[in-house]
Amino acid sequence: MSNFVQRLILFVIGLPLLLGIIIFFDQYAHSGWAVVVVTVTFLATRETLQLFTLDIPKLYRGVIPTLTALLPLSTYISFILPLSIPLMHLILIISISFILIFELFRRRNELPQHYTQNTTSLFGALIYPGLFMVFTIRFLEFENPLAAILLFLLLNFSNDTFAYVFGKLFGKGSPHIVAVSPKKTRIGFLGGFAGSIITGSVFYLIVPEIFLAHFLVLVPFFFIVGLCADIGDLVESAYKRAAAKKDSGSLMPGRGGLLDSIDSLLFSAPFFYYIGTILLK
């Protein structure tokens, strides 16, 4: 089965299933979205560790992804419960402290440079994807969170799909954007931008009531989200190239690892959230 067919099957089956879970559990405090985000964060962090660090103790394979997944989970708990403490900040401090202390004793007989390199890599795995995924939970702060989540996913997935199709059909001979990702062509990028703008425009025509700005103001918003999605894809490509790996894993047929599928979501989530606080209800 070709890579294209695998991606197509995943898109046709996976995306409707994901949207179905989110919509069905929307009435239960958006628990479906929270479960998806926390699960994805855990699994993606396991793949991130393989890219960021070469020497991974077995303890880290369970503890670091769990601590990372607790970041969006704690954000969700703070959303549904009136807590007097910033729970996410507490989890972040505990996670950082664990890494610093455990690495200090694990590396006690090695050069200080090894301690610095490993703690820095583990901090990277904690932030990417964990801290970035926190913003996907913060979408629940919008007046119409379900619409915001759907818009976010559709802008990103349409960007990825259009970029892939345009690259396949018209990208032959087109210069690549950066050397770390030679398959990401300029034609593919233009196709991705077109996908985000078209999808955002259709969404505006269907549910204009969720927007606070004129359509002409929203077009740059759709473009920025698409641009961030593309940059997120390139960032992860750089990490994979540095680790001498083609894919972050093998969990997603036709796409490689789970991190390969959410790299665009990670980078675009904070920008979607902060710009969305101005343009979305």
In three-state secondary structure terms, 218 is: helix
Of 143, 169, 157, which Cα lies nearest the Cα of 264? Answer: 157
Give pLDDT, residue 182: 61
Q: Give the residue carrying structure tokens 């239960």.
A: 28
- Specify the pLDDT at position 281: 87
* Segments forming the whole domain that contains residue 234: 3-279
Look at residue 142 in the predicted model and tell me its pLDDT: 95
Q: How many domains does the chain have?
A: 1
Say if residues 275 and 221 touch (Cβ distance below 8 Å). yes
pLDDT along the chain (281 residues), means of 10: 62 75 85 94 92 78 93 94 87 93 80 80 88 95 94 92 79 62 73 91 95 94 94 86 78 74 92 96 87
- For residue 141, give every residue at least 6 positions away whose Cβ sits within 8 Å of its Cβ, in sequence order, or none: 79
pLDDT at 162: 85
- The model carries a pTM of 0.89
pLDDT of residue 4: 61
Locate 149 and state its tokens.
């989540």
Tell me, what's the pLDDT at 94? 94
> Which pLDDT tens digit goes with each residue over 100-156?
998 888 867 766 777 888 888 889 888 888 999 999 999 999 999 999 999 999 999
- What is the per-residue DSSP string for 44-89? HHHHHHHHH-S---HHHHHHHHHHHHHHHHHHHHHHHS--SS-HHH
Q: Identify the pLDDT of residue 241.
A: 82
pLDDT of residue 191: 84
Q: For residue 155, what pLDDT is reported?
A: 95
Q: What is the per-residue pLDDT for 161? A: 85
> Using the 8-state DSSP alphabet, how is residue 174 labeled?
P
- What pLDDT does 2 receive? 59
Per the listing, tokens 């007097």 go with: 84
Q: What are phi and psi of 280, to 5 degrees?
A: -115, 150
Output the pLDDT for position 106.
Answer: 81
